[in-house]
Structures are given as structure tokens and as C-alpha cells.
Chain A
């Protein structure tokens, strides 16, 4: 696990995966950073972390930079996460006390 990601922010992961899922094809890191509203260093850490778990794929681009793709496992993880968060919100948070 990369340094500083002992306890990754689950919502950040969801946001990154969601933006990749919404993107039409491979995403530029800068675009992903802006869409996910996090700083570049943080994004790099998360991408390295997610790539290590097979949730995203980092491909080299012709211009020397890189492009990011969500994998099938990443989509499955996003679905799982979305359902878990939705269920929790519906069952717990939506109950007004």
C-alpha cells in the first residue's frame, strides 16, 4: 500500500472510480484530478493504490503522459460501493430522529 494510504478515503475512491466510469474512454490525469476535486499528489497515490488492486489501469500515452481506465473489476467495485452507500443512507441516514 502506498505511503499515506493506510486508510484510504472510501468516498474519494468512489469519486475517482465514478469519474473514470463516466469518462468516455481513457481519462487524462489532470482531467480526473479536476473532476475528482483532489490534488495531483493525492490522485497519484490513489491511482497507484487502485492500480495495485486491479481497479484501474494506467496506460502510457503518446505525448509522454498517461491515461487512466477503469477495469471490469473497478466497475464491479464501484457498483458494490454505490449499493453499500445507498443502502446505508437509506436505512440509517434517511431516518429522521
Chain B
């Protein structure tokens, strides 16, 4: 009986080794893919929820408004905020789709690399490159979400202050039965956005830490395979 028969074939049979690597790398890739998409998607849905809430409050206020120039102006101003929120939400949700398209092309490129059966360590290097790229994408998703949301919190807080000043000092919203409602709602939204942003950033950072651990793991594997090569050619 030859050497090959004396050892379980699954331990070093090449297609099985490739399958083994692929079966480990594929979930990692999916995990990172999902993580970056989830950050954007969460931000998008947070904006949609805020827009729906604000629109509902505005619609509840609407029957009480009169058709004066000031009332129409203030309604337009009030309804423009949810529109901006919806726009931001669409931007956040649309982005992962573009990202996915790019990643799909990347994945087929990776499959081709596997089919060509390059040496394992260079293949691992390609996989690591892809994982590093995804890591940067998650980082970018977290950063852009945080920056946009901070700007939005500032904007909403400014609008809340403006509504409050307009309602109490200038009397711009005479149609509103409860003039403090627009300011209070906007301020609440600012607070909710801040909390939501913190949650998204926290989740993104957690995914980043996990992906760094995966990369470190792969680095160790790559180093081990490099060591095998050196030891083998040193011996034979």
C-alpha cells in the first residue's frame, strides 16, 4: 500500500484542500459583506423611521392649519425635513447594493483564481487582500454614517431651536394649537438619531474587531504554509 493510501485522502487531496479553504473563507467573506451592508442599511431604515414619524406628526397638525401664507410656508418647511430624511435613507440603503455588485464581480474573480489552482499561500494572499478591502469598506461605512448622522443631529437640533424661537417669540406658527410640538418633535428626532448613530457605530466597530481577528487568523495560516514550503525545500 502506497503512502497516499496509508493516509486519509481528505487530509491532503488537493480539491478537498481547496474546498476546505473555500468553506472557511466563504462564510468570512459573507460575514464582512453583511456587516458593511448592515451598517448602511440600519442607517437608512433609521432615517425612514424618522421621516415617517415626523410626517405623521405634521399630518396630525395639518387640519388645524389655516391657508395663510405663513401657514403654508411653515408647512412646507416642516414637510421638507422628512423629505430630506427619506433622501438620506435612500442614499444609505442604495449604497450596499452598489457594494454588493462590486463584491459579486470580486467573488467571481476569486473563483477564477481558485480554478486556476495557484499555490495556496498566494491564494490566501488574494483572499486576505479581499478581506482587507472589505474591512476598509466597513470602516468607511461606519465613518460616513457617523459623520452624516452628526451633521444631521446638528441640523435637526438647529431646526428644533428655530421652531421653538419661532413658536414662542416670533409667533410664526399661529396656526398650531400646540406651538411647541414642531420643536419638541424635531428635538426628539435629533436625540433618537444620535442614539441610533451610536448603536450603528458600536455595531460597526464590533464587526471591525471581528474581521481584524479573522485577518490575523489567516495571516497565521499563511505564515504556517510559508513555513511548510521552506521546511520542505530545505529538506528535499
Contact = CB atoms under 8 A, between A and B. Distances in A.
B209 interface: no
Contacts of B12: 14, 18, 81-82, 85-86, 89
A78 B3 contact: yes
Interface in A15-32: 15, 18, 21-22
B3 A97 contact: no
Nearest to A11: B14
B69 interface: no
A67 interface: no
A92 interface: yes
B63 interface: no
B143 interface: no
B126 interface: no
Interface of A: 7-12, 14-15, 18, 21-22, 37, 53, 55, 73, 75, 77-86, 88-97
A84 B3 contact: no
A73 B235 CA distance: 11
Given A12-B117, A84-B232, 19 more contacts: A8-B233, A9-B118, A11-B119, A11-B120, A18-B12, A21-B2, A21-B3, A53-B236, A79-B7, A80-B232, A80-B236, A81-B12, A81-B228, A84-B231, A86-B11, A86-B12, A88-B224, A88-B225, A91-B224
Contacts of A37: 117
Interface string B1-27: 011110100011110010011001001
A89 B220 CA distance: 12
Contact of A78 (B4, B21, B221, B224): B4
Given A18-B4, A82-B11, A97-B214, A77 B20 contact: no
Interface residues of B, number: 34
B123 to A, nearest CB: 10
Contact of A89 (B4, B11, B210): B11
Nearest to B221: A92
A15 B14 contact: yes
Contacts of B221: 88, 92-93
Contacts of A89: 11-12, 17, 20
Interface in B187-230: 210, 213-214, 217, 220-221, 224-225, 228-229
A8 B122 CA distance: 12
B235 A11 contact: no
B28 A97 contact: yes
Contacts of A8: 233
Contact of A73 (B11, B213, B231, B236): B236
A84 B5 contact: no
B228 A88 contact: yes
Contacts of A79: 3, 7
Interface string B55-79: 0000000000000000000000000
Given A89-B17, A95-B217, A84 B228 contact: yes
